[in-house]
Amino acid sequence: MAEPLVPTGQVDLRPLTTLGVGGRARWYVRASSVEEVATAYAWAQDRNLEVFVLGGGSNLVVADEGWPGLVLHVGINGATFWGDGTDTFVTAGAGGTWDDLVLAVVSRGLAGVECLSGIPGTVGATPLQNVGAYGQEVAGVIDSVTAFDRATGETLRIPSDECGFGYRMSRFKGRDAGRFVVCHVTLRVRPGFPTVTYPDLVDYVERHAIMSPGVGDVRDAVIAIRRRKGMVLDAADPDTRSVGSFFVNPVIKDEVYHRIAAGGGIPSFAAGAGFVKISAAWLIERAGFGRGFGAGGAALSTKHPLAITNRGGASAREVVALAARIKHQVADRFGIWLRPEPLFVGFGDDADVAYLQAHDAAG
Ligand SMILES: Cc1cc2nc3c(=O)[nH]c(=O)nc-3n(C[C@H](O)[C@H](O)[C@H](O)COP(=O)(O)OP(=O)(O)OC[C@H]3O[C@@H](n4cnc5c(N)ncnc54)[C@H](O)[C@@H]3O)c2cc1C
């Protein structure tokens, strides 16, 4: 008979996140199968506790007060490759390390995720915000997601076109936030050429005279570029003690772009008819926050103005206060309200967090 699932009390969440701030979980449990996910939910429901689903903790700001309910750490592992005669698929457990899966795909010479190399966290969290980098998004290869639906207690297969993917968004982060626990993700990948479209990547490939880059070359290039920016986890590099980018790049109307860009030089990307995506890092620097700008234990990365880092002993309050200050100043200077990328856990109705999550009419 299976061992009963016994949650542990009072678990420090700091070591379970990359930013390393915040308090404790009142209860914590690790679930290594779909059945254990269901059991953990039933346990929490019996005690009237809220559940927070934890992956690799690389996109979270945990409140100093911690989480009063149950933290459910998803530990479903394994990956199986299979084919249907045309395409190759891989079904992977949500608790597996994302970059291990990328390496397994790239090692087979398959394309579609090579630009997503080096992103921290688990497989199961990738659909949440449709992770993306260097010209690819995971939505481009997701075939389906298998998820436990806490509303019904059932496990469903959700095809990609029902996941509501957008720029750093999905139904799992948006309209259905908190409803599903992703248990498995199936990717459809293909032999073929890597994606080399993103300016930094094109530049790297040219400078290193890589003639016909394969998927492995692109993976190496992406990791090298990310390391330079402090965007791969490295215990020896305090610039990586972060959630990665704290704000997403704003997508704004053409006319707003022309007003801001009048001075020239703002990095931008096409984002559909009438819209432009602009660099949040550029806005932050121009609003007066240079690399390394700090307040208490929280400071911007010395390599990238978009990452708020814990320089040692930072509190969640300091992180959130710095983020709110940046958002205020960017709004004052440019009239653009930055949208934060990480999830805020246990903050209740905290005023700074409410402000960070608010958006203006155009947002
Ligand atoms: C140095 C650094 C660089 C980064 N670079 C990038 C980047 O280039 N591109 C990018 O998009 N992101 C980037 N990120 C952000 C982060 O790595 C990704 O968002 C990642 O997918 C988060 O995975 P995680 O397992 O750590 O999720 P967590 O941080 O544990 O959780 C994030 C959210 O997902 C939910 N969640 C986690 N697992 C599940 C599950 N199985 N089912 C349901 N919900 C779940 C949580 O409840 C939470 O809401 C970076 C972060 C860091 C620290």
pLDDT attached to residue 337:
95
Does pLDDT of 228 surpass 70? yes
Mean pLDDT of the chain: 94
Distance CA 98, CA 58 (A): 12
Kindly state the tokens that stand for 42.
């039933």
Question: Which ligand 1 atom is nearest residue 95's CA?
Answer: 41
pLDDT attached to residue 3:
66
Check 14, 30, 168, 227 and give the catalytic one: 168
Give the residue, 317 or 266, on which the prediction is more confident: 317
Distance CA 157, CA 111 (A): 24
Nearest-CA residue for atom 34 of ligand 1: 125
Reported pTM: 0.95
Q: Give residue for tokens 């290594």.
A: 32
Q: Are 278 and 267 in contact (CB under 8 A)?
A: yes
Does pLDDT of 317 surpass 70? yes
Residue 78: closest CA among 117, 48, 123: 123
Question: Which ligand 1 atom is nearest residue 18's CA?
Answer: 53
Instruction: Identify which of 13, 33, 50, 58 to mutate to test ligand 1's pocket (most ligand atoms within 8 A of the CB).
Output: 58
Determine whether 241 is an active site residue.
Answer: no
Sign of CA dihedral 140, 141, 144, 149: negative
Ordered by where they begin, the domains of the chain are 8-74 (3.30.43.10), 79-228 (3.30.465.10), 238-357 (3.90.78.10)
Kindly state the tokens that stand for 259.
């007003």
Does pLDDT of 31 surpass 80? yes
Distance CA 255, CA 141 (A): 33
Determine whether 325 is an active site residue.
Answer: no
Give the residue, 259 or 227, on which the prediction is more confident: 227
pLDDT attached to residue 273:
87
Question: Which ligand 1 atom is nearest residue 123's CA?
Answer: 25
Contacts 24+ apart (CB under 8 A), 4-7: 5/29, 5/31, 5/36, 5/39, 5/40, 5/43, 7/40, 7/43, 7/70
Chain-centroid distance of CA 32 in Å reads 22
* Ligand 1 neighbours by CB, cut-off 6 Å: 18, 53-60, 74, 94, 119-122, 124-126, 128-129, 131-133, 180-182, 231, 233, 240, 242-244, 343
pLDDT attached to residue 260:
82
Tell me the per-residue pLDDT of 167-201, one tens digit each, with 9 for 90 and over.
999 999 999 999 999 999 999 999 989 999 999 99
Query: What is the arithmetic mean of pLDDT over 234-254?
Result: 93
Distance CA 324, CA 352 (A): 6
3-state secondary structure the chain: CCCCCCCEEEEECHHHCCCCCCCEEEEEEEECCHHHHHHHHHHHHHCCCCEEEECCCCCEEECCCCEEEEEEEECCCCEEEEECCCCEEEEEECCCEHHHHHHHHHHCCEECCHHHCCCCCECCCCCCCCCEECCEEHHHCEEEEEEEECCCCEEEEEEHHHCCCECCECCCCCCCCCCEEEEEEEEEEEECCCCCCCHHHHHHHHHCCCCCCCHHHHHHHHHHHHHHCCCCCCCCCHHHCCCCCCECCCEEEHHHHHHHHHHCCCCEEECCCCEEEECHHHHHHHCCCCCCCEECCEEECCCCCCCEEECCCCCHHHHHHHHHHHHHHHHHHHCCCCCECCEEECCCCCHHHHHHHCCCCCC
Q: How far is CA 193 from CA 84, 115, 130, 189, 326, in A?
A: 20, 12, 22, 11, 40
Does pLDDT of 271 surpass 90? no
Check 245, 286, 291, 317 and give the catalytic one: 245
